[in-house]
Amino acid sequence: MASLKELRARIGSIKSTRKITSAMKMVAAAKLRRAQASAEAARPYAAAMRRMLGELAAATRGEDGAPRLLAGTGQDKVHLLVPLTSDRGLCGGFNSNVHRLTVQTIRRLQAEGKTVRLLPVGRRALNFFMREHADLIVDHVTGVSGKEVPFSVASGLGDKINTLLEAGEIDVCTLVFNKFSNAMLQVPVCQQLVPMVVDDAAKDAEPANDVAQGDVAQYEFEPDEATLLAMLLPRNLQVQIYASLLETAAGENGARMTAMDNATRNAGRSIDSLTQVYNRTRQTNITNELIEIISGAQAV
């Protein structure tokens, strides 16, 4: 049995830890409000961007010389996976879920005879895949989480992916990230960026109010469809990456707030339990001392 001094030291240590976890919970909650608002504000824009490009792609379907961002390279041999995680930990299973889904995707693709490349975003993803699949990493990005995500990060990441695609080093690019649902739930998903999935784009946006159900809207594009696609496809790639980064930032703060809340509650329960043990041990020592005093007095 631990001594009273050891119990006091342990209780003091847990109380200090509880103060830290409680403070981290409040900081994460404050950051979550802003991050959640940014992620929710970006969703309609990203969905509208996919819908618009889906309509453009439908107008140019079957034509030769389609942009690679839309049609890909015509092959399905080399897959680039881009896992998005945080730079810091203490957020429960937030990063582990992305790692797990990415590893499952790697194994599935390799079992199909495909070549896999990795471009981890976030220090946690980089550290994990440097241990597990260092030979697959072609580049990395860190220093994104823990602050407001600037669009320049998504722009630079989109340029890297586009450069690899134009050089013929990859055929397919897929994002792996946590889609923010609420503070307690972040769902790991895979989103294919290259080639663009037109069918999924049409599902994300509601049809226009002035178009009856079952009718097909007719559009005239100015300038022509090919010129618009060449201008908008790189922008769409950056927008989809930016929306995913915002989802990751909101999910990280939500997961950290939940994890720190659980840690604070667990610390409180541990303090209560140790306090009971401390009181019982103290009372036992007092009782033993009284018994020794009374026994000594009776012996005299």
Is 91 an active-site residue?
yes
Report CA dihedral (237, 106, 164, 174) to the nearest 10 degrees.
-10
32 Cβ partners below 8 Å, 6+ apart? 183, 250, 253, 254, 257
Task: Tell me whether strands 78-83 and 172-182 are parallel, antiparallel or unpaired.
Answer: parallel
Question: Looking at the chain, which runs of residues are DSSP E strands?
Answer: 78-83, 115-118, 172-182, 185-194
Among 7, 24, 91, 246, which one carries the catalytic annotation? 91
Tokens 């009284």 locate to 290
Instruction: For the beta carbon of residue 203, count every other beta carbon within 10 angstroms.
Output: 11
Q: Classify residue 160 as exposed, middle or buried by CB count within 10 Å of its CB (0-12, 13-18, 19+).
A: middle
Active-site amino acid positions: 91
